[in-house]
Chain A
C-alpha cells in the first residue's frame, strides 16, 4: 500500500509539472495585468515599461515560468531599465514553496488563498454534508420503494433540480426567499456576504448567510447523488449476496444497511472523494451570486485582472488537491472493498 501511494505520488509529479506549464502558457495571453491595474485609467506608457521590467513580465515566457517554478534568486534583474541586470531576484519559486506575490495587491499568494480557503471550506463542507445526508436518505428510500409514488415524484424532482443551472436556481431562490419574502413581510434570507459587518462574524450570522448558498450548491448534487445512490442500491439489492442474506433470514434493515449499502457505498465514496476537491475551488457561480468571500470569487477577481501568480496558485492548489483526493478515493476504495489490494 505504501509503495502504491508512493508510486502514485511520484507519478503525479510529471503530471503536475505538465499542467503547470500548460496553464502558465495559457495565462500569458489572458490579459495584461498592468493595462489598467484595475482602475479606470489606462496605465501610462512609461509606467507600463517600468512595471513590466520590475515584475519580470518583459522576460521571455519560458524564463518567467522558470522563475515561477524555481525562483530567481540565482539571477539578476534589470530594474532601472539601463540594460544592465544588477539587482538579484528574491523569489524562491514554487518548488521551494514560494508562489510569488499577487500582482494585484502584492500579498504573498499563499496568504491570499489562505484568507479565503476557510470560507470556501466552510461553505463546501456544509454543502457536502447536506448533500450526503439528503442524497442518502432520498436515494436509499426511493431505491427501497422503487416505482412507488414517492419514487416517481422524487425522480421527477431530482431530474428537475439536476437539470436546473445553478444560477437559475440561485436567482429563483433569491427572488422568492429574499426579495418576495421581504415584500410580504416574512423573515427573509440575506443574499450577500458571509455576515453583516456591523453585526460581526458570529456563528449565527454566518449560518444565516449560508442558507441560500448552501442550498444552491447542494440541490443539484443532492439530485445527482440521490439518483446515483438509488441506482447503486438497486443494483446491490439485486445481487445474489442479498438473496443469500435474505435466505439466511436476516432482518431487512441488516440486509439493506450492511449487505447492500456497504457494497453500494463503494462507487459513491469514490465519487464523493473525487468531487470534494472540485468543491475546494468553490462553486464559482454560487460564490459570485451570493458574494461569498471564498476561493471562487477570488479566482474570478484575479482572473479578470490577469493576476497570474494568484490564478496559478489557486489552480495548482486544486490540481494537487485533486491528485491527493484521487489517491484518497483509491485508498478508501481499497479499505471498503477487500477485493482491491494495491501494491
Chain B
C-alpha cells in the first residue's frame, strides 16, 4: 500500500507518511498524558488514593465494633500511643472512627454525585437537545431550585426527610437512614448546575457539523444524543462530577455540623465535627482530625478535578 500509484489513479499517492510515525493515541491516552503532566493533579490523585486506602484499608486494622466501642472511663483523651487521634466524648477511638466515618463520607460523596449526574445529565440533555417548550419548562424548574441557596434548601429538606428515617442494613452493616436522606438531599439540590452545564454543552455540540452530518446520514435522534453528543460532552460532566464528590462531602459536613446531617452512631467526618467546636479549647483533636481529613480529601479531589479539566480540555484554564 505504500506503493505509489500512477497519478491518474489519483489520490493514493497522497498518503501522508507522517501520520504513520506517531503511535495511535486515543483521546483517553492523550488525556492521561496531559493529566500526568499536571503536577498538582498527580499529587491530588496520590493523596486521594491514600485517603481511600486509609478509609477502606483501615477497616482491616480496626473493626467497626472497635470504632463504635465506648469507653466512658477514657473519654476526651488527648492523642496518645493507644489512641493516636485521641478519644471522643464517650471514649471512642477517633482514629478508628475517622476510618469508618471516611467510608461513609466517601460513599456519600460518590452516591450523591451519581444522583446529581443522573438528574442533571438527563434534564440538561433533554433541555439542550430538544429546546423549545420542554427546554423552557425544565429551565424554569432548574431556576426554581437554583433560586434558593443550596444550604437553605439542604437544611429544609434534611429536616423534611428527617421525620422518617428508619435505619438500614447493607452488607451486614447498619447505617443510619439519614445517610440515604443526605445523599438524596444533596443530589436533589445540586443537579441544576450540572444540568446547565450539560445543556449548554448540548446546545453548542448540537450546532457542530458532525451532528448535521449524522442527521444527513439518517442517524436516529436517540443515537445522535447518546452516541454523538453525550460522548462529546463527557469532559465537563466528568470534571463537574469529580468536583461534585468534593462538594457533596463538604455539604454533608456542613449539614452535619449544623446538626441536621447523618445521625450517630454512624460516623462521618462531618458529624464527628458536630458539637466538636464546643471543645475548641479543651479537646482540639475532636475537630482537628476529621476537619483536616475533609479538607485534605476536598483538596485532593479539587486538584484531580482541575487536572482533569486541563487534561480533557487543553484550552480551558478556568477554575
Contact = CB atoms under 8 A, between A and B. Distances in A.
Interface string A291-312: 0000000011001000000010
B319 A231 contact: yes
Contacts of B253: 165, 167
B127 interface: no
B33 interface: no
B246 A163 contact: yes
Interface string B287-317: 1100110110011011100100000000001
A163 B156 contact: no
Given A15-B140, A284-B258, A303-B156, A163 B149 contact: no
A185 B149 CA distance: 41
A167 B152 contact: no
B160 A165 contact: no
Interface string B245-268: 010001001100110000000000
A163 B295 contact: yes
Given A15-B143, A168-B294, A318-B148, A311 B299 contact: no
A299 B303 CA distance: 34
Interface string A313-327: 011001100110000
B40 interface: yes
Nearest to A321: B147
Contacts of A163: 246, 295, 298-299, 301-302
B280 A174 contact: yes
Interface of B: 40, 140, 143-144, 146-149, 151-152, 155-157, 159-160, 163, 246, 250, 253-254, 257-258, 273, 277, 280-281, 284, 287-288, 291-292, 294-295, 298-299, 301-303, 306, 317-319
Contacts of A284: 151-152, 155, 254, 258
A19 B144 contact: yes
A227 B317 CA distance: 9
A311 B298 contact: no
A289 interface: yes
A255 to B, nearest CB: 19
A235 B40 CA distance: 21
A228 B319 CA distance: 6
Given A231-B319, A318-B149, 20 more contacts: A14-B140, A15-B147, A19-B147, A29-B160, A31-B159, A31-B163, A159-B299, A162-B302, A163-B302, A165-B254, A165-B298, A168-B292, A168-B295, A175-B281, A235-B317, A278-B149, A284-B254, A288-B258, A299-B152, A322-B146
Contacts of A278: 149
Contacts of A323: 147
Contacts of B258: 284-285, 288, 300
A55 interface: no
Contacts of B291: 165, 167-168, 171-172
Provide the main secondary structure of the chain A interface: helix
Contact of B277 (A26, A156, A171): A171
Contacts of A314: 152
A231 B143 contact: no
A160 B149 contact: no
Given A23-B156, A303-B159, A285 B257 contact: yes
Contacts of A136: none
A307 B54 CA distance: 42
A26 B157 contact: yes
Given A163-B299, A300-B258, A175 B147 contact: no
Interface string A31-63: 100000000000000000000000000000000
Nearest to B282: A179
B160 A23 contact: no
A164 interface: yes
A15 B145 CA distance: 10
Contacts of A155: 40
In the complex, the 5 A-B pairs of residues with the closest C-beta atoms, listed nearest first: A227-B319, A163-B299, A168-B291, A163-B298, A231-B317
B281 A165 contact: no
Contacts of B295: 160, 163-165, 168
Interface in A203-224: 224
Interface centre among B156, B163, B253 (most CB of A within 10 A): B156
Contacts of A179: 280-281
Interface string A170-207: 01101100010000000000000000000000000000
Contacts of B146: 322
A171 B156 contact: no
Given A30-B159, A175-B284, A159 B148 contact: no
A250 interface: no
A251 to B, nearest CB: 26
B85 to A, nearest CB: 16
A278 B273 CA distance: 25
Contacts of B306: 159
Contacts of A171: 277, 280, 287-288, 291
Interface in A123-171: 155-156, 159-160, 162-168, 171
Nearest to B269: A165
Contacts of B152: 281, 284, 299, 314-315, 318
Nearest to B150: A278
Contact of B40 (A159, A167, A299): A159
Nearest to B294: A165
